[in-house]
C-alpha cells in the first residue's frame, strides 16, 4: 500500500461528499492513519469513525485560529508521535463580483483559504523539520490560474493564487529539511461547495469547455493528493498538479 503506517492530517475533511473526506478515505484504504480536522468536533469524529481501518482521529480545528491549529498539532503528536503528510484542504467560496466584495467577505475568504494554509502548516513544520521528512499538499484552484472558476469570486481567485505563492515559497524554504510542499489546482469538482447552484444549463455549458467531457469527482482530486503524500512523489516539490479534465491547458 502506498501509505502503509503513515500518519496523515487533512483539514476540511468531515463532509461526506467533499474532497477532504474522499482523500481521507483513499489514504485510509492505502494504509494511512488519518486525522480529520474540521469545524465541528462531532462531525470530525463521526467522519474519522466511518473510515476504513483502525486508529483514525477526528478533531475540531478552525484553520483560521492559530491556537486551534497548535492544539490540533499537539493532539496529533501526542497520539501518533509524528506526521508524514499534511493536506491543507479546508476552503470556502462565495460567488460574487468585484464590486460586491465587502471587507468582511474579503477577510473571511482570505482567512480560510490562505491564512489557514499558513497557520496549519506552521503548527506542523517544527515536527516535519525534526523528522527531516514529510509532505505538505495545499489546495489551490483553477480559479487562481484562469482568473475565476465558476463559483468563486475575485477574492477567492486571489486567495487561491496566494496559496500557490505561499506553497512555492515554503517548498523552497523547507526543501533542505527534506519537507516537500506542493499544490493541487482542481477544475469544477462535484461537491457541496456549489451550494446547489449548478443548474443543468450551466453544467451543459461548462462541459463544452472540458476536453474529458465530465465534471471532476472528489476522488479525482484525492488521487492527486495520494501521489503527493506518497513516496511516489519523493522528488516533487514546488509543483502544481492540475486536476481539471483539460479545462485549462497551459502553453
Ligand atoms: P466542501 O464545502 O465540501 O469542503 C470544505 C470543507 O472545509 C468543509 O468540510 C468545511 O466544513 C471545511 N471548512 C470550512 N471552513 C473551515 C475552517 N475555517 N476550518 C476548518 N475547516 C473548514 O467543498 P470541497 O469542494 O470539498 O472543497 C474542498 C477544497 O477544495 C476547498 O479548499 C475548495 O476551495 C477547493 N476547491 C474546490 C473545487 C470544487 O469545484 N469543488 C475546485 C477547486 C478547489
d(CA 164, CA 238): 9
Query: What is the pLDDT of the chain when averaged over all its residues?
Result: 97
- Domains present along the chain, CATH in parentheses: 7-242 (3.40.50.720)
Reduced to 3 states, what is the DSSP secondary structure of residue 105?
Answer: helix
Chain segment 225-238, per-residue pLDDT in tens: 999 999 999 999 99
**Consecutive H or E run containing 8:** strand 7-11
Reduced to 3 states, what is the DSSP secondary structure of residue 169?
Answer: helix
Question: What's the gap in Å between 176 CA and the centre of ligand 1?
Answer: 31
Chain segment 27-86, per-residue pLDDT in tens: 999 999 999 999 999 999 999 999 999 999 999 999 999 999 999 999 999 999 999 999
d(CA 133, CA 221): 23
Q: Where are the beta strands (DSSP E) in the chain?
A: 7-11, 33-38, 57-60, 85-88, 134-139, 179-186, 240-243
Chain segment 139-194, per-residue pLDDT in tens: 999 999 999 878 899 999 999 999 999 999 999 999 999 999 999 999 999 998 87
Question: What's the gap in Å between 89 CA and the centre of ligand 1?
Answer: 6
Told to judge if 156 belongs to the known catalytic residues of this protein, a careful annotator would answer yes
Average the pLDDT over 15-31 and give the result. Answer: 98
pLDDT surpasses 80 at 195: no
- In this structure, are residues 244 and 145 in contact, taking their beta carbons and an 8 Å threshold? no
d(CA 143, CA 94): 12
d(CA 155, CA 93): 9
pLDDT band of residue 197 (cuts 50, 70, 90) is confident
Count Cβ neighbours within 10 Å for each residue of 12-35 and write b for 16 or more, e otherwise: bbbbeebbbbbbbbbbbbbebbbb
Spell out which residues line ligand 1, taking CB within 6 angstroms: 11-12, 14-15, 18-20, 38-39, 61-64, 89-93, 112, 116, 139, 141, 186, 188-189, 191-193
pLDDT at 44: 98
Residue nearest to atom 23 of ligand 1 (CA): 193
d(CA 158, CA 189): 19
Chain segment 77-117, per-residue pLDDT in tens: 999 999 999 999 999 999 999 999 999 999 999 999 999 99
Tell me the pairing of strands 85-88 and 179-186.
Answer: unpaired
Which set of grid coordinates corresponds to residue 129? 523539520
Amino acid at each position: 500500500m502506498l501509505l502503509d503506517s503513515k500518519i496523515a492530517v487533512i483539514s476540511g475533511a468531515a463532509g461526506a461528499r467533499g474532497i477532504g473526506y474522499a482523500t481521507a478515505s483513499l489514504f485510509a484504504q492505502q494504509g494511512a492513519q488519518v486525522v480529520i480536522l474540521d469545524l465541528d468536533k462531532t462531525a470530525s469524529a463521526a467522519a474519522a469513525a466511518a473510515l476504513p481501518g483502525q486508529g483514525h482521529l477526528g478533531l475540531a480545528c478552525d484553520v483560521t485560529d492559530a491556537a486551534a491549529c497548535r492544539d490540533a498539532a499537539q493532539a496529533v503528536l501526542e497520539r501518533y508521535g509524528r506526521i508524514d503528510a499534511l493536506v491543507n484542504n479546508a476552503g470556502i467560496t462565495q460567488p460574487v463580483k468585484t464590486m460586491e466584495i465587502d471587507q468582511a467577505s474579503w477577510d473571511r475568504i482570505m482567512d480560510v483559504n490562505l491564512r489557514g494554509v499558513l497557520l496549519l502548516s506552521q503548527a506542523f513544520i517544527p515536527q516535519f523539520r525534526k523528522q527531516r521528512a514529510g509532505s505538505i499538499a495545499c489546495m489551490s484552484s483553477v480559479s487562481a490560474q484562469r482568473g475565476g472558476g465558476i463559483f468563486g469570486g475575485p477574492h477567492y481567485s486571489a486567495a487561491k493564487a496566494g496559496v500557490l505563492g505561499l506553497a512555492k515559497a515554503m517548498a523552497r524554504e523547507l526543501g533542505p529539511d527534506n519537507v516537500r510542499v506542493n499544490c493541487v489546482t482542481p477544475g469544477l469538482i462535484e461537491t457541496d461547495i456549489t451550494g446547489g447552484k449548478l443548474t443543468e444549463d450551466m453544467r451543459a455549458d461548462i462541459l463544452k469547455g472540458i476536453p474529458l467531457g465530465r465534471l471532476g469527482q472528489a476522488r479525482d482530486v484525492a488521487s492527486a493528493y495520494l501521489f503527493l503524500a506518497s513516496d511516489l512523489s519523493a522528488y516533487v516539490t514546488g509543483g502544481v498538479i492540475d486536476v481539471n479534465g483539460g479545462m485549462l491547458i497551459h502553453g
